[in-house]
């Protein structure tokens, strides 16, 4: 009887999971993907089994603007769904993730990816079997490869899984958008999608492997957290008593090369071409490593230098200054107290009321807009913007 029930359930699942047969004109934007869609967004490429699920998972991450289902890594141009699912193209079902680097980093995308796949399965993902459904991280440059390999090693060393981590990290070659009826399938065919996802065993595996951490914000987006009555994740802001500075190896896996070189090696980012020099939104700026509050948009002004500049710190107790005699001059370096991150320098050529110019590196900061202060645990600063 049990065998018969399982067979009937699998048959029903297969019927409901089949998308409607809609003709595809081939006039999508497939083909080799551009690195960015505009000067604000970046693209990343991941395969996590069924692209309906991977697309849905990434679109639930703050900072992701869109996730596009498609086919990647194979040798057939503009393949059809039938070709790819048959396993004859070399492609895997994949997603192109369009994200805002000012809100979520590539390292944080990787963190999210690992918590939504089975990294120990080389033969597919969950109910979908075959190499066309295996998990893959496609990297487009040396920096993405460094971050991807570091994140994979971190997962291996964690001991979370008894079996070996086998997810591949491959050089990106091509990406072709899937047929229109596959896009946003979790929104357009909600019941079929939910039935398929439950029947696939994906969430049951992820819940067992990760528990509540499965859908917690990636490291660096919220420091700590709790669940609000409406079921959303709430951050705990910054707790100096609970903060422990990560090791250099951890920081290298979490931060971009620029963020690491600025905060840990006292480097300076390029002027004008950085995340916050031209940011005029209301909110606060926190340390990218610790989350400790540093500056407010209420004290930000246009200095013309190409770096975000402030007349004073939001929390003076989180700021440390010291003499800097590099570059054949004497300057005053600014560092965060708890994370000991290099932030920038302070000069005495600023406007009233302080006459100071705190010239900061965007790479050392994370901006939290006014609308997200409460959710991320910094609600006490909302009064600054009323």
So which residues are the catalytic ones?
A: 50, 359
The torsion angle over the Cα atoms of residues 239, 241, 243 and 245, rounded to 10 degrees, is 140
In sequence order, the β-bridge partners of residue 95 are 46, 69
Host H or E run for residue 64: strand 64-72
Q: Extract the runs of DSSP E, i.e. beta strands, from 100-219.
A: 124-125, 128-129, 135-139, 168-171, 175-177
Q: How far apart are CA 180 and CA 27, in angstroms?
A: 10
Question: Is the distance from CB of 104 to CB of 61 less than 8 angstroms?
Answer: yes
Q: How far is CA 350 from the centre of its chain?
A: 35
Q: How far apart are CA 23 and CA 81, in angstroms?
A: 12
Complete DSSP assignment for 262-330? HHHH---PPSSSSSSTT---SEEEEETTT--EEEEGGGEE--SSSS-EESS-S-GGGEEEEEE--TTS-
User: At how many degrees (to 10) do helices 190-200 and 202-210 cross?
Assistant: 60
Taking CA atoms, 51 is separated from 67, 119, 177, 187, 209, in Å, by 10, 16, 11, 13, 21
Complete DSSP assignment for 319-377? EEEEEE--TTS-EEEEEETTT--EEEEEES---TTT--EEEE-GGGEEEEEGGGTTTTT
Residue appearing with tokens 């994906």: 202
Q: How far apart are CA 346 and CA 299, in angstroms?
A: 14
- Tokens found for residue 50: 């069924």
Q: How far apart are CA 370 and CA 383, in angstroms?
A: 10
Complete DSSP assignment for 234-258? E-----TTT--PPPHHHHHHHS-HH
Host H or E run for residue 48: strand 42-48
């Amino acid at each position: 009887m049990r065998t018969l029930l399982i067979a009937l359930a699998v048959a029903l699942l297969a019927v409901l999971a089949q998308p409607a047969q809609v003709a595809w004109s081939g006039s999508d934007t497939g083909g080799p993907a551009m690195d960015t869609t505009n000067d604000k967004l970046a693209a990343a490429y991941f395969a996590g089994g069924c692209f309906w699920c991977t697309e849905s998972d990434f679109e639930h991450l703050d900072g992701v603007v869109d996730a596009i289902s498609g086919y990647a890594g194979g040798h057939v141009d503009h393949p059809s769904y039938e070709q790819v699912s048959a396993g004859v193209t070399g492609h895997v079902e994949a997603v192109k993730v369009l994200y805002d680097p000012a809100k979520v980093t590539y390292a944080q995308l990787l963190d999210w990816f690992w918590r939504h796949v089975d990294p120990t399965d080389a033969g597919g993902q969950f109910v979908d079997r075959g190499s066309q459904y295996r998990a893959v991280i496609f990297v487009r440059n040396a920096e993405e490869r460094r971050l991807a390999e570091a994140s994979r090693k971190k997962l291996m060393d964690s001991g979370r899984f008894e079996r070996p981590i086998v997810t591949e990290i491959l050089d990106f070659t091509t990406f072709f958008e899937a047929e229109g009826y596959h896009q946003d399938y979790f929104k357009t065919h909600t019941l079929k999608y939910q039935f398929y996802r439950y029947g696939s065993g994906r969430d049951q595996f992820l819940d067992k492997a990760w528990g509540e951490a499965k859908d917690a914000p990636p490291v660096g987006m919220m420091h700590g957290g709790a669940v609000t009555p409406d079921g959303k994740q709430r951050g705990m802001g910054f707790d100096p008593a609970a903060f422990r500075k990560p090791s250099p190896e951890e920081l290298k896996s979490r931060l971009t090369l620029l963020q690491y070189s600025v905060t840990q090696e006292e480097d300076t980012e390029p002027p004008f071409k950085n995340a916050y020099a031209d940011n005029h939104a209301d909110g606060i700026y926190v340390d990218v490593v610790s989350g400790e509050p540093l500056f407010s948009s209420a004290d930000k002004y246009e200095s013309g230098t190409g770096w975000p500049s402030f007349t004073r710190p939001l929390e003076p107790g989180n700021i440390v200054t010291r003499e800097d005699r590099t570059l054949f001059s004497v300057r005053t370096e600014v560092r965060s107290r708890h994370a000991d991150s290099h932030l920038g320098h302070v000069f005495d050529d600023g406007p009233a009321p302080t006459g100071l110019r705190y010239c900061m590196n965007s790479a050392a900061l994370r901006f939290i807009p006014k609308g997200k202060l409460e959710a991320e645990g910094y609600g006490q600063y909302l009064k600054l913007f009323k």
